[in-house]
Structure 1
């Protein structure tokens, strides 16, 4: 499948075949594609929590997930989280394949950029999550699977269930599997004229 086709064909699927399973090779292929996503300074903030335990998924659906069937029925359910302090955790490991002088320069910039800017650390982790989610969903589409990004769950409750570390942030879930129903028609895209700004916004009157 061409990348453009995957972009236009990807839809948020709400109904999955609960009997379908991804093979180990397919799951690895999907995750390996996902980690090709870009991140600031190549920090790779993402931490993918694979929600595999049927009892855990059932609990999340019933108690914290607004009874969304994707939570239990999808072949693969991935909770995206991000490490906000990844920038200071052995940062040279993100640049092992470049000359030492370049690695040291980038790592020094990395520290200066993030130090004392907690809001930026959180924003960067969330930006990285967003890019990785889109990569996963397009990769799944290219593999013949459907997907659904999900934020309609109790973030604080699920964070406790997975023992989210204090220096991590919660992102959405992505459900992957074989869809069993046609998705709703696209509700409507805004026009480019409404969305594209040339060179900057008009000054305030």
Structure 2
């Protein structure tokens, strides 16, 4: 399946085959592709929590209003971001760049993020969203379906996964084999309603 087909055919699927086990090579392929997602300043601050412990999945399902995809999907991920990745040895994000590029990037990263909590959080959310879309399209291309999720108690899930204090949850993502095809699209807005040329009226 090519990229355009994956975009057209990707749908949010809720009902998964609980008996399907994702091969480890598929999991590693998905995560490797997700790790190619872009991040500002290449800080790669997303953290992909693979929840495969059945008890933890049950606990998260309880915190997600009993949504079955939490336990039934072959793969359940909590996409998080390290809000302070920008200051944790940032030279490693540019270690293969020319020295002059490294010398430019280090102070630029510091200036962009230091003492700017909203920037740090906004960037984390953008990066998690981009990585989630990469995962969903890659999954579709590999024959899987997916469902992005924010319908859960973030604080409770944070406690379940032992989320570090300097991290934030962006969203969760269920990936697996659908038991039923997705329902028809409910109603796409016309492009002339969502596309603005140059500036709002």
In the superposition, the TM-score normalised over structure 2's length comes to 0.98
Cα deviation, residue 166, structure 1 = 1.1
Counterparts of 1:186 and 1:49, CA distance in 2? 30
Are 1:92 and 1:104, in contact at CA under 8 Å, matched by a contact in 2?
Answer: no
Aligned-pair CA distance for 1:7: 0.2
Alpha-carbon deviation of 1:117?
A: 0.8
2:42 counterpart of 1:29 = no
* Corresponding residue number in structure 2 for 1:117: 116
In 2, distance between residues paired with 1:42 and 1:15? 35
Give yes or no for the alignment of 1:151 onto 2:155.
no
Contact 2:51 2:76 in 1 (8 A): yes
Find the aligned partners of 1:104 and 1:186 in 2 and give their Cα distance. Answer: 49
Distance 1:59 1:115 in 2: 36
Per-residue displacement from partner, 1:132-169 (whole Å, max 9, x unpaired)? 00000000000011111011111111111111111111
Alpha-carbon separation, structure 1, partners of 2:122 and 2:77? 20
SS at structure 1 position matched to 2:33: helix
Question: Counterparts of 1:60 and 1:31 in 2: how far apart (Å)?
Answer: 21
Aligned to 2:100: 101
Aligned residues: 201
Aligned to 2:19: 19
Deviation at 1:18, TM superposition (A): 0.6
Give me the whole-angstrom Cα distance separating, in 1, the residues matched to 2:114 and 2:149. 32
Distance 2:152 2:117 in 1: 25
Cα distance between partner residues in 1 of 2:56 and 2:97: 42
- 2:12–2:147 Cα contact (<8 Å) kept: yes
Matched residues in 2 for 1:150 and 1:201: separation?
31
CA distance in 2 between counterparts of 1:33 and 1:161 reads: 26
Partner residue in 2 for 1:65: 64
Partner of 2:163: 164
**Which residue number corresponds to residue 3 of structure 1?**
3
Structure 2 CA distance, aligned partners of 1:162 and 1:143? Answer: 27
* 1:15-50 deviations in Å (ceiling 9; x for gaps): 111110111111000100111111100011101111
Gaps of 5+ in 2: none
